[in-house]
């Protein structure tokens, strides 16, 4: 049982380049999330999708876009990468209720913007 | 802004000892969750305690919640080297039509042989 799978695991970009981070879950969860983790900052919510067909901004959405492709997949896109977006990105999913259910995390994408 | 803040930021103990981590938060919550993160890995959910509960156990883990003090503690008994990880509290807050989970900055636990 894979749980939450993120690809790629590592990526280096140049400033201004674009890329899409992929996330898929096989637990039939309704809700999915994208977080970034920076040293000393904990996890900060970028975007979330409470259910298939809906997406909403989190705490730090600027510079990002998301797509809930279907119930399983939730992608995060950086249109024009900036050094401030260097971070570790985590995708998570839960059965529902953004803050009322345990969340299941992938192992992260380590992204460096030069 | 951070809702939950863990204390201490780092903790080093010997195998077999108990480890206690604390979490303080600022606003009323619906629930509080604890997660573990091993180096280079994603977060793993440990335990969820609802605002109307005071204590919860799961194996060697004991979580308490004091809503009057807006604080929670995570106790790991008889620690093992495999417990070495960062531990995060996360507060679930209902905000009208949705609810929000906010993570603290974590406690790094080192368990030595």
- B51-95 tens-digit pLDDT: 999 999 999 999 999 999 999 999 999 999 999 999 999 998 876
Cβ contact, residue pair B105, A40, below 8 Å: yes
Cβ contact, residue pair A45, B100, below 8 Å: yes
- Select from B43, B98, B105 the Cβ nearest to the Cβ of A98: B98
- What is the per-residue pLDDT for B70? 96
Q: How far is CA B60 from CA A112, B16, B33, B50, B89, in A?
A: 38, 12, 16, 19, 17
Q: How far is CA A12 from CA A9, A44, A83, A104, B68, in A?
A: 11, 21, 11, 26, 47
- A14-63 tens-digit pLDDT: 999 999 999 999 999 999 999 999 987 789 999 999 888 899 999 999 99
What DSSP line would sit under B49-106, residue for residue?
Answer: EETT--EEEETTEEEEEETTTTEEEEEE-S--GGG-EEEEEEEEEEETTEEEEEE---
Cβ contact, residue pair B42, A45, below 8 Å: no
Find tokens 């960062």 and name the residue.
B86
Which of A9, A42, A96 to mutate: most B Cβ within 10 Å? A42
């Amino acid at each position: 049982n894979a749980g939450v799978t993120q690809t790629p695991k590592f990526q280096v970009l140049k400033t201004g380049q674009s890329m899409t981070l992929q996330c898929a879950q096989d637990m039939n969860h309704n809700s999915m999330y994208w977080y970034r983790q920076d040293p000393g900052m904990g996890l900060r919510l970028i975007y979330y999708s409470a259910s298939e067909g809906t997406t909403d901004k989190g705490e730090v959405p600027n510079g990002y876009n998301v797509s809930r492709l279907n119930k399983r997949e939730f992608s995060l896109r950086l249109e024009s990468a900036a050094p401030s977006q260097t971070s570790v990105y985590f995708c998570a999913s839960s059965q529902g209720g953004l803050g009322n259910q345990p969340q299941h995390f992938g192992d992260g994408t380590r992204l460096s913007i030069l | 802004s951070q809702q939950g803040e863990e204390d201490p930021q780092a903790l080093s103990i010997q195998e077999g000892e108990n480890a206690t981590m604390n979490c303080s938060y600022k606003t009323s919550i619906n629930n509080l969750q604890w997660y573990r993160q091993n180096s280079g890995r994603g977060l793993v959910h440990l335990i969820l305690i609802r605002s109307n509960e005071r204590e919860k156990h799961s194996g060697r883990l004991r979580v308490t919640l004091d809503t009057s003090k807006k604080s929670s503690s995570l106790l790991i008994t008889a620690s093992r080297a495999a417990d070495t990880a960062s531990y995060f509290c996360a507060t679930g807050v209902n905000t009208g039509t949705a609810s929000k989970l906010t993570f603290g900055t974590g406690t790094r636990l080192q368990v030595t042989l």
